[in-house]
A and B are shown apart, each in its own frame.
Chain A
Amino acid sequence: MRLPILATLAITTLPAMAEQPDPMDWPAVLAEAEGQTVYWHAWGGSTTTNDFIAWIGERAAEQGVTLEHVKLADTADAVGLVLSERQAGKDTGGSVDMIWINGANFASMKEQDLLFGPFAEALPNWQYVDVEGKTVTTDFTVPTEGYESPWAMAQVVFIHDSDRVDTPPTSAPALLDWAQAHPGRFTFPQPPDFLGTTFLKQMLIDLVEDPVVLQSPVGEDYAEVSAPLWDFMDALTPVLWRQGRAYPQTGPRQLQLMNDGEVDIAISFSPGEATAAIANYELPSTARTYVLDKGTLGNASFVAIPYNANAAAGAMVVADIILSPEAQLRAQTPDILGYGTVLDMDKLPEADRAAFEALDLGVATLSPAELGQAQAEPHPTWAERLAADWVARYGVAN
């Protein structure tokens, strides 16, 4: 097990690794981390996430690590920063120590050797991670190979205002029928926003005969495979909110539209988001969630460490804290974050497992059984291609 990892390490990142800590020697990591300041670049658009990261900071301080949350408007900012530092020859002492990342950003950084690692499987709390049942070792079909550590599971749910929608539409064709019967009452975040792109992927998976084709990179048959989606979108767009001439730019703004009574159905990538939003007055108390008949997309959020991180040891300590049962339980608590845990209940100590089971998921959150098995994310090239294609078709006025 260790030999291949070390071999990868030697081949891919040895020059830059000269001064970086060895993840296998955890006591040395802990010693080095003491007194370090970790700059965690993470999307800052959600106040509940920001509060959670601040709490992680308090735990890190107990181990002598200072955690600073660098709030991003877009994760690509951090990727760009690491890239520009490499361009400038800054191969050590970089300004980014850790990034909340997944999907295309991870694929891009991994492909360009911008990541430190592998480190994830060396973290002490890795022992509790649900490696078999959850997609924590692949990220949008790209193998993580220990270059990022999971911290939360996400799954697509649709939020509806149960006051206005009696029977929510649970398939793509049903959604189209509903939208045609209720023009102007549905929209989605504008692609290439990740949630809007997710909506496109979700509809394609629902419409395509066999979603397995989406697991390989986009090929020659793209036009043929995606044709049902564009037929669907051609019919849906004119009956969208504002006739599809304007879109909310992000998921939270879409929820704001729902709270303003402008739309009745919204997409979310977090099963607990609706419950948390109701508690924060951001959604009406009549908001509820549902999934599609064929199931919905799921993926994991990760943290990764750039190759030139100034505090790689401290970042590993923080990544380990995030994986601790205590932090994972807090993340899953509905009025705190409501994120799905990445841990395997069967691997946890008895007391921790009981605490998870005692969690009341909240009024608008589906149980794991109701959520069902998550559908696999398509290869990142699909997201890119679908978003670009959508922009060309609907994102530029004629």
Chain B
Amino acid sequence: MLRPLPLLTVLVLAGPVLIGIAGTVLPAIGLGPVGQGLGLGPFHQVLDWPGLPRATAVSVLSGVLSTLGALGVAALILAGWQGTATFRALERLLSPLLAVPHAAAALGLAFVIAPSGWIARLPAQALGWSVPPDLLILQDPWGLSLTAGLIAKELPFLLLMMLAALGQVEHRRRMAITRSLGHGRVAGWMKTVFPGVYAQVRLPVMVVLVYGMTNVDVATILGPNTPPTLSVQVTRWMLDPDLALRSVAAAGALVQVAAVAMTLALWVGAERLCAALGRAWIWSGRGLPETTLRALGVSLAGLSALALLAGLAALALWSLAAGWRFPDLAPEALTLRSWSRFGPEMIAVAGTTLAIAATATLLSLILVIGCLEAEHRFGLTVGQRALWFLYLPLLVPQVAFLPGLLLPAWLGVGPGTGVVIAGHVVFVLPYVFLSLSGPYRAWDTRIARVAAGLGATPDRILWRLRLPMLLAPVLTACAIGVAVSVGQYLPTLLLGAGRVSTLATEAVALAAGGNRRAIGVWGVGQSLAALMPFVLALAIPALVFRNRKAMVRD
């Protein structure tokens, strides 16, 4: 029963990616119905596009900078503040923001930082400006506002991942020792805890890196347009009415894959370099400017949380706004008109969205626990090289394989909810795996040995000991799975042939229209749909383990 699960999981993850890439490579080299015959014509067209150097540079830059930023701030916060009341407050503030879908967060943020947005309205009110300043803040050519938006959105993700990993590195004992040796809080954490934590969150970090370089939704809203990032341009070629451009889009997608691969290789090289430098630093015994770094960490994290929260508040306020013009800080009146206009449909679609998310997450959870348990019982590890297959769907840019993945048509299966759920599993499963595998493997197996010695079967150990003890990480994994599913846009659109409406497809379609009130209603709905599971993931363990304090993660 358990034995075939690891192989099945690898097939579920890698199969669609490999088929999809084949479907992208063929048109890129001029084959297939839209091709002009075997050749490198499409690549020449991509290379001839004058925006290519800048688009590629902005893609790579925003990906690398946002990853470094989010990772750095998350580390500073954990290093400087873990265990304090400030940290618990920040954690409570940041964790729910993980659930906020990227598009909704970006739209809210755009309203906050635009020259006609909330921040600029403060001086406008004070100084009596009648028109906003003509400043290029949003969509700046180097993608800095895009990078800032990505940092704000990825920080909660990395922080949660690192928190989940903390339990596995005995951080409290390590910190006790470094502190007793006279190291500062930040320096001590960076020297003894960070290396262990980073090793556990390495793949999530790379996923953040790839997402930063290849996302379409955030880059469309916050990113530059003259030229856009590479992934946005590839999507535009794909959607161009001139069908011949589809092969150019395919070639562009492969250029994107090459850029991602090179950046990942450089990242791995940089990891080695940092490790060497870090070792030298550890041996040197030198410390860090503790006060400055602690202040920096808390202010950056606070700022990013505040910006996202203000964006969400803006979405909520827009959904209730009557007229609202510059430089007013609030609408002239509140009305439920937008809710009565868009609310009923939104709630119906939210039902479909959550049903899809719950099914995809449950399927993923069964596969993941099956894999991990098979690994535990039979030593059936998928192997380090095969492990990379598991992360393929997250590390290969979506634009590179989704268009080539006309799975429904190939298999003769009609597009619909079933295929969409299957597609979501491909993206949900890795996140569930990423978030659950660490805690699962780190579970103290001596407990299992003791139980077995008392006569318990492996199944009984799984159901009565391991899973209950791992309740918190399992629920966190579920919440992440649901949030990932709720945020999926491209897979839902393509695999559902546009017939399966979810909160993500509706919100992005509306984002094209720019109606802030409708975006407000749908954005609030999408955020709530993704948020609820996290509330449950926090509340249930606290309730179940209320008499077992040591089981509740701190």
Contacts and interface: CB of A to CB of B under 8 A. Distances in A.
Contacts of A81: 497-498
A347 interface: no
A93 B240 CA distance: 25
Contact of A397 (B227, B243, B497): B227
Interface in A44-89: 44-47, 51, 68, 70-81, 83-89
Given A79-B243, A281-B321, A396-B51, A95 B326 contact: no
Given A80-B246, A90-B409, A281-B323, A242 B130 contact: no
Interface string A365-398: 0000000000000000000100000011011110
B227 A396 contact: yes
A41, A71, A85: most-surrounded residue (chain B CB, <10 A): A71
Contacts of B326: 260-262
A45 B512 contact: yes
B414 A246 contact: no
Nearest to A277: B515
B506 A71 contact: yes
Given A72-B498, A261-B325, A80 B32 contact: no
Interface in B188-242: 220, 224-227, 236, 238-242
Interface in B127-152: 130-132, 134-136, 138-141
Contacts of A76: 239-241
Nearest to B245: A76
A391 B54 CA distance: 14
Contact of A394 (B131, B226, B325, B518): B226
Contacts of A105: 241
A246 B510 contact: no
A170 interface: no
A78 B498 contact: yes
Interface stretch (A218-226, A247-255, A321-329, A353-361): A247-255
B259 interface: no
Of the listed residues B225, B327, B342, the one surrounded by the most CB atoms of chain A closer than 10 A to its CB is B225
B136 A242 contact: yes
Which of B116, B135, B342 has most chain A Cβ within 10 Å?
Answer: B116
B514 interface: yes
Interface in B309-365: 321-327, 341-342
B501 interface: yes
Contacts of B96: none
A255 B514 contact: yes
B499 to A, nearest CB: 6
Given A44-B513, A262-B115, A384 B242 contact: yes
B510 A44 contact: yes
A347 to B, nearest CB: 33
B304 interface: no
A241 to B, nearest CB: 7
Contact of A247 (B225, B242, B321): B225
Nearest to B508: A73
B265 interface: no
Interface string B498-522: 1101000110111011111110000
B410 interface: yes
Most buried by A among B241, B324, B497: B241
B122 interface: no
Nearest to A387: B240
B493 interface: yes
B406 interface: yes
Nearest to B409: A88
A260 B515 CA distance: 13
A245 B50 contact: no
Contacts of B514: 45, 248, 250, 252-256
A238 interface: no
Contacts of B456: none
Interface residues of B, number: 65
B226 A397 contact: yes
A77 B238 CA distance: 9
B266 interface: no
A391 B74 CA distance: 40
B51 A395 contact: yes
B227 A252 contact: no
B498 A47 contact: no
Interface string A229-252: 000000000000111111111101
Given A246-B136, A260-B132, A261-B130, A85 B409 contact: yes
A70 B50 contact: no
A104 B510 contact: no
A376 B383 CA distance: 65
A390 to B, nearest CB: 11
Interface in A70-129: 70-81, 83-90, 93, 95-96, 103-105, 108, 112
Contact of B414 (A43, A95, A260, A280): A95
Given A80-B238, A87-B32, A250-B512, A397 B54 contact: yes
B33 interface: yes
Nearest to A392: B50
A190 interface: yes
A184 interface: yes
Given A261-B131, A262-B115, A395 B226 contact: yes
B34 interface: yes
Contacts of A88: 406, 409-410
Given A47-B341, A105-B241, A396-B54, A77 B132 contact: no
Contacts of B508: 73
B325 A260 contact: yes
A76 B498 CA distance: 12
B415 interface: yes
A236 to B, nearest CB: 15
B499 A68 contact: yes
Contact of B226 (A39, A41, A247): A247
Interface in A17-57: 39, 41, 43-47, 51
Contacts of B131: 185, 261-262
Contacts of B116: 257, 260-262
18 contacts: A45-B512, A46-B513, A68-B499, A71-B498, A76-B239, A78-B498, A83-B33, A87-B32, A87-B33, A87-B409, A242-B135, A246-B225, A250-B514, A255-B514, A259-B325, A260-B325, A262-B115, A395-B51
Interface of A: 39, 41, 43-47, 51, 68, 70-81, 83-90, 93, 95-96, 103-105, 108, 112, 183-185, 190, 192, 241-250, 252-257, 259-262, 280-282, 284, 384, 391-392, 394-397
Interface of B: 32-34, 49-51, 54-55, 114-116, 130-132, 134-136, 138-141, 220, 224-227, 236, 238-243, 246, 321-327, 341-342, 406, 409-410, 414-415, 493, 497-499, 501, 505-506, 508-510, 512-518
Return the 10 tightest CB-CB contacts between A and B, nearest first. A45-B513, A88-B409, A396-B51, A253-B514, A184-B134, A261-B326, A260-B116, A252-B514, A44-B509, A70-B498
Given A77-B493, A261-B326, 15 more contacts: A44-B506, A45-B512, A70-B499, A76-B239, A95-B415, A104-B241, A246-B224, A246-B225, A256-B514, A261-B130, A261-B325, A262-B134, A281-B324, A284-B323, A384-B242
